[in-house]
């Protein structure tokens, strides 16, 4: 007799014969029980088959999830990335320098040799003497030996080498969109120097990615601020992608660095451009209203300042002042008007956005004085006018506060046979 393949192993052979004998002995009731048990066993065997098929198919359905999980597991952990940035900071920091020009500051870095420093040209373009401050806070005098106005980069040379690693440019075809980069510099200048009593710069690291296909300029979303100019944009392997030159003021997360390829080309031109002549803003003009001056004078003042260096300059001002009528007595009135010229040596502290102007020099004035006298003759009264002139030469000390373009200044006058007097000016500097 052929056994059913749907019967479980326990129901084959002798066990089946025993059940069949029981059915014969006990009649219809046992036959019914046999059919019921047989049906339950067949149903269980049939239901188990799809579950086995599903168990076989399950790994294929989850294959994609396993691949994604495997890719995520292969990515470096956050701690490893953070450690790599710390290692980069420690490795590169000795090679970064502070560039100081007058009262302004920027960033530079060793490039090509331990005596050469790369930076942005606009960091050094308005000053003759450049000071390089290393991590120990000691300033060294440097001079510009190569520059490129088109790409806003420059190379400074110092006498004594800096004992720190020289940074190198990335290889050709390296530095692509999405590559992680870091900017290291001195944002906000002196605000970053937190060590009390120390002039040593404290470098700040910001990180981002190359956010557009690199060309002559490399665009990045790494945050940079005033003071970062001239600093390096680096790969995680401490290779220079570019020199930070500009941040878009009205846009968040858009900064540019001149490509390292231009910096390499500039390094090859050291000594071929002669002596660098800084582009000092030579002239600055002043237009002011003088509401208060000596002898109740008031008027307008026009002046100009010629900058010899970023700090020192020569200032010349001319003013036309008109006076109120002064009552000398019941019968005498005096009217005084004045032309005035001031010439002084001046010093400017601060930046183009704001600062302090101090000066000392000579002030010359020419007064036109009209005396009016009432003359009584009999029953009539007539007016007699006499015009005379007077001139003085005195020392002037001036001080002005400016926040572009507003200027508030004052001049105090000494000697010249006159009492100490002063004037106040409110105007524009442009």
Q: What is the pLDDT of residue 45?
A: 54
Q: What is the pLDDT of residue 230?
A: 92
Q: What is the pLDDT of residue 38?
A: 57
H or E segment to which residue 11 belongs: none
For the chain, give the percent of residues with pLDDT over 90. Answer: 40
User: How far apart, in Å, are the Cα atoms of 193 and each of 98, 189, 197, 204?
Assistant: 11, 8, 9, 10
* The two three-digit tokens of residue 136, written as one number: 């120990």
Q: Which residue has the tokens 């968040």?
A: 252
**Residues 309 and 348: beta-carbon distance below 8 Å:** no
Q: What is the C-alpha separation between 336 and 370, in angstroms, rounded?
A: 6
Centroid of chain to Cα 248: 9
- Total residues belonging to the chain: 430
SS3 string, 251-304, reads CCCCEEEEEHHHHHHHHCCCCCCCCCCCCCCCEEEEEEEEEECHHHEEEEEEEE
**Residues 219 and 212: beta-carbon distance below 8 Å:** yes
**Radius of gyration of the chain from its Cα atoms, rounded to whole angstroms:** 44
Q: What is the C-alpha separation between 379 and 296, in angstroms, rounded?
A: 35
Q: What is the pLDDT of residue 200?
A: 73
Q: Which distant-in-sequence residues (6+ apart) come within 8 Å of 69 by Cβ?
A: none
Q: Which residue has the tokens 């507003």?
A: 406
H or E segment to which residue 43 belongs: helix 28-61
H or E segment to which residue 145 belongs: strand 139-148
Q: What is the pLDDT of residue 67?
A: 46
Q: What is the DSSP letter of 79?
A: H
Q: What is the pLDDT of residue 156?
A: 95
**Residues 211 and 163: beta-carbon distance below 8 Å:** no
The string of DSSP codes covering 51-70 is HHHHHHHHHHHTHHHHHHHH
Q: What is the pLDDT of residue 117?
A: 97
* The two three-digit tokens of residue 273, written as one number: 């451009």
* The two three-digit tokens of residue 118, written as one number: 């790369």
**Residues 360 and 411: beta-carbon distance below 8 Å:** no
> Going by DSSP bridges, is the β-strand pair 204-209/380-403 parallel, antiparallel, or unpaired?
unpaired
Which residues in the chain come in under a pLDDT of 70?
1-82, 102-103, 126-128, 173, 188-199, 247-253, 278-281, 352
**Residues 279 and 266: beta-carbon distance below 8 Å:** no
H or E segment to which residue 77 belongs: none
**What is the maximum alpha-carbon separation in the chain?**
174
**Beta-carbon neighbour count of residue 65 at 10 Å?**
9
Q: What is the C-alpha separation between 339 and 325, in angstroms, rounded?
A: 17
Angle formed by the axes of helices 63-74 and 28-61, nearest 10°: 40
Closest C-alpha to 106, from 228, 201, 198: 228
Q: What is the pLDDT of residue 56?
A: 41
Q: What is the C-alpha separation between 95 and 240, in angstroms, rounded?
A: 12
Taking the whole predicted model, whether its pTM rises above 0.85 is answered as no
Q: Which distant-in-sequence residues (6+ apart) come within 8 Å of 369 by Cβ?
A: 334, 335, 336, 387, 388, 389, 390
Q: What is the pLDDT of residue 194?
A: 53
Q: What is the pLDDT of residue 271?
A: 86
Q: Which residues of 346-379 are buried (b: 16+ CB within 10 A; e: fewer)?
A: bebebeeeeeebebebebebebebebeeeeeeee
Q: What is the pLDDT of residue 113?
A: 95
Q: How far apart are the first and last CA of the chain?
A: 116
Q: What is the pLDDT of residue 392?
A: 93
């Amino acid at each position: 007799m052929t056994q059913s393949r749907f019967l479980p192993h326990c129901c084959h052979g002798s066990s089946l014969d025993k059940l069949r004998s029981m059915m014969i002995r006990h009649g219809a009731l046992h036959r019914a029980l046999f059919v019921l048990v047989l049906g339950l066993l067949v149903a269980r065997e049939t239901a188990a088959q799809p579950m086995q098929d599903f168990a076989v198919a399950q790994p294929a359905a989850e294959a994609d999830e396993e691949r994604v999980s495997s890719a995520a597991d292969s990515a470096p952990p956050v701690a490893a990335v953070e450690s790599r940035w710390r290692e980069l900071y420690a490795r590169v920091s000795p090679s970064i320098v502070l560039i100081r020009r007058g009262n302004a500051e920027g960033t530079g870095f060793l490039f090509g040799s331990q005596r050469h420093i790369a930076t942005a040209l606009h960091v050094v373009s308005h000053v003759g003497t450049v000071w390089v401050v290393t991590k120990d806070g000691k300033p060294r005098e440097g001079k510009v030996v190569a520059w490129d106005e088109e790409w806003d980069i420059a190379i400074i040379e110092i006498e004594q080498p800096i004992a720190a690693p020289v940074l190198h440019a990335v290889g050709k075809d390296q530095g692509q969109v999405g590559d992680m980069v870091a900017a290291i510099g001195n944002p906000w200048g002196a605000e970053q120097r937190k060590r009390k009593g120390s002039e040593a710069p404290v470098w700040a690291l910001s990180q981002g990615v190359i956010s557009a296909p690199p060309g002559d300029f490399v665009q990045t979303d790494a945050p940079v601020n005033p003071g970062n100019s001239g600093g390096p944009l680096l790969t995680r392997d401490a290779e220079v992608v570019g020199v930070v030159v500009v941040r878009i003021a009205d846009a968040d997360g858009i900064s540019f660095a001149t490509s390292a390829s231009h910096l390499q080309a500039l390094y090859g031109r050291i000594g071929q451009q002669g002596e660098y002549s800084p582009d000092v803003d030579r002239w600055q003009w002043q237009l002011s209203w003088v509401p208060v001056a000596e002898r109740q004078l008031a008027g307008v003042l026009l002046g100009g300042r010629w900058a010899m260096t970023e700090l020192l300059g020569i200032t010349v001002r001319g003013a036309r002042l008109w006076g109120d009528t002064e009552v000398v007595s019941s019968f005498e009135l005096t009217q005084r008007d004045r032309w005035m010229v001031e010439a002084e040596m001046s010093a400017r502290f601060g930046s183009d956005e704001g600062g302090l102007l101090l000066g000392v020099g000579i002030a010359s004035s020419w007064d036109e004085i009209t005396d009016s006298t009432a003359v009584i003759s009999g029953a009539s009264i007539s007016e007699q006018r006499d015009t005379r002139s007077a001139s003085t030469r005195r020392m002037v000390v001036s001080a002005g506060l400016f926040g572009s373009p507003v200027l508030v200044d004052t001049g105090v006058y000494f000697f010249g046979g006159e009492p100490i007097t002063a004037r106040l000016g409110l105007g524009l500097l442009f």
